């Protein structure tokens, strides 16, 4: 049978299929040279048991649906969650939904034939990573704080390396740079590439949030911060998310008074001992009173933190601390313009703007509302800051928050 292809077409197809074969060989060789050691996700194959049992409105699916807005709630304060797996579990990730002032602590236990249930790890944060020393096939989460656990997400992993997106937080008592933001999403909307840029440069960046005191927005914040390269657990001051309608004094009253707010912010400065603090603008960007109160508190408390006569209880607990520099967003004196558009090595060449835009997507509750969206620069320039206070000299045009910090 005569071919329907011309000689030129036959040569072209031969070369094309040869290239495809060669690429396949290259990819196969690369896979052998650089194997993927990421741990297998066992969650879908695990079985769960709780007392009382799950119901249609309180299902185990609500803690395995990869949505932090849903959670499985243990039915009683004295109940627990059991987990069984046919394959050995080597890593456990647990995200908890906080409600009010509830104590969300738990023990992670493994069944031991000789000793019964044996505690192998304890919770420290709202998002916890537990790496097991040996494979486990029967685990349980046992509440220890006297309140019912609200489990937003649980994931179980086998042998291998922790996936990059799984949060494994640590603490610091000495930050280089502190970002003091008001609401979850403000940390990228108004400060854009600050977190990824300074994380990429190797600085210890501590994120501190004025609000909220509980709920899914805390978990969205953790996802956003982790994506931005934060590895020190964000600190929630714990104020209620209320709006004083552009009135600074009303905002303080809604937050139960200036003394309470200033004591909390002062303790925060003393606790983390940052060299530099960056926070909102005096006008609260678009006039938001909670943003104004955040900026006002930073201005007042940088003095209080260094004075042992102010809030002596936290001075005794943490010691006093002198912040060296305070920057305010959109402050019109001693201006600096930050470059969030340079490639970052630790983020694969993406820019601070790129990472901030990706991280904002974790704030699903705010995206659903549709009120805000991340923009590079934006209506309230998120590259524009001013040096409100310094005791280490004026900036010299380097556009670097850490200038003059040794």
The dotted CATH code for 177-390 is 3.40.50.10320
Q: Return the pLDDT at 332.
A: 96
Q: Residues 39, 165: contact at Cβ < 8 Å? A: no
Q: Return the pLDDT at 113.
A: 83
The full DSSP string for 85-144 is EEEEEEEEEEEE---TT----EEEEEEETTTEEEEEEE--SSEEEEEEEEEEEEEEEEE-
Q: Return the pLDDT at 22.
A: 59
Q: Burial of 310 by CB count in 10 Å (0-12 exposed, 13-18 middle, 19+ buried)?
A: middle
Sheet containing strand 325-329, strands side by side: 235-236, 205-209, 177-181, 276-279, 325-329, 384-390, 335-337
Q: How far apart are CA 308 and CA 313, in angstroms?
A: 9
**Cα dihedral: 57, 123, 238, 193 (round 10):** -100
Length of the chain (residues): 406
Q: Return the pLDDT at 4.
A: 54
Q: How far apart are CA 171 and CA 234, in angstroms?
A: 9
Q: How far apart are CA 90 and CA 150, in angstroms?
A: 23
Q: Computed from CA positions of residues 197, 199, 205, 208, in that sequence, does the dihedral angle turn out positive or negative?
A: positive
Domain with CATH 3.40.50.10320 in the chain: 177-390
Instruction: Give the bridge partners for 83, in sequence order.
Output: 48, 139
Mean pLDDT per segment of 10 residues, for the chain of length 406 residues? 55 57 55 74 97 84 96 90 97 95 92 90 97 97 92 98 98 98 98 98 98 94 98 97 95 98 98 98 97 98 98 98 98 97 98 98 88 88 98 97 96
Q: Return the pLDDT at 34.
A: 54
Domain with CATH 2.60.120.260 in the chain: 43-157
How far apart are the two ends of the chain, measured CA to CA in Å?
A: 81
Q: How far apart are CA 173 and CA 235, in angstroms?
A: 12
Kindly report the number of other CB atoms within 10 A of residue 392's CB atom: 13
Q: Residues 129, 91: contact at Cβ < 8 Å? A: yes
Q: Which two tokens stand for residue 258?
A: 């200036």
Q: Return the pLDDT at 1.
A: 47
The CATH class of 43-157 is mainly beta
The full DSSP string for 334-392 is SEEE----SB-GGGTT-BHHHHHHHHHTT-HHHHHHTS----SSTTTTTTEEEEEEESS
Long-range contacts, stretch 109-114, CB < 8 angstroms, 24+ apart: 109/139, 109/140, 109/141, 109/142, 110/136, 110/138, 110/139, 111/138, 111/139, 111/140
Q: Return the pLDDT at 78.
A: 86
Give the three-class secondary structure for 198.
helix
């Amino acid at each position: 049978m005569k071919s329907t292809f011309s000689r030129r077409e036959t040569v072209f197809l031969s070369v094309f299929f040869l290239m495809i074969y060669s690429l396949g060989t290259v990819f196969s060789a690369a896979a052998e040279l650089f194997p993927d050691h990421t741990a297998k996700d066992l969650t879908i194959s695990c079985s769960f048991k709780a007392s009382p049992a799950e119901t249609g409105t309180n299902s185990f699916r609500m803690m395995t649906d990869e949505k932090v807005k849903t959670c499985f709630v243990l039915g009683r304060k004295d109940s627990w969650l059991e987990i069984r797996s046919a394959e050995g579990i080597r890593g456990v990730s647990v995200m908890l939904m906080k409600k009010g002032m509830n104590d969300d602590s738990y023990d992670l236990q493994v069944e031991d034939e000789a000793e019964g249930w044996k505690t192998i790890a304890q919770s420290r944060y709202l998002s916890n990573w537990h790496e097991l020393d040996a494979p486990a096939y029967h685990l349980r989460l046992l509440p220890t704080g006297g309140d019912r656990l609200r489990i937003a997400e649980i994931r179980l992993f086998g042998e291998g390396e922790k996936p990059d997106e799984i949060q494994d937080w640590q603490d610091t008592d000495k930050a280089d740079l502190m970002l003091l933001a008001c609401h979850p999403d403000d940390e990228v909307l108004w400060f854009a590439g600050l977190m990824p840029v300074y994380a990429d440069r190797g600085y210890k960046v501590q994120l501190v949030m004025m609000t909220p005191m509980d709920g899914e927005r805390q978990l969205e914040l953790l996802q956003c911060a982790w994506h931005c390269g934060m590895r020190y657990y964000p600190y929630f001051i714990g104020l209620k998310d209320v709006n004083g309608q552009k009135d600074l004094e009303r905002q303080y009253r809604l937050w139960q008074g200036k003394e309470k707010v200033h004591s909390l912010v002062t303790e925060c400065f003393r606790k983390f001992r940052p060299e530099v603090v960056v926070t909102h603008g005096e006008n609260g960007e678009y006039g938001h009173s909670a943003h104004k109160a955040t900026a006002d508190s930073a201005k007042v408390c940088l003095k209080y933190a260094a004075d042992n006569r102010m809030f002596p209880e936290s001075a005794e607990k943490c010691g006093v601390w002198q912040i060296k520099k305070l920057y305010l967003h959109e402050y019109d004196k001693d201006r600096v313009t930050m470059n969030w558009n340079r490639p970052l090595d630790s983020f694969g060449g993406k820019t601070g703007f790129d990472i901030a835009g990706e991280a904002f997507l974790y704030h699903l509750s705010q995206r659903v509302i549709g009120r805000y969206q991340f923009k590079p620069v934006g209506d309230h320039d998120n590259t524009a800051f001013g040096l409100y206070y310094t005791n280490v000299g004026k900036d010299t045009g380097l556009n670097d928050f850490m200038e003059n910090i040794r």
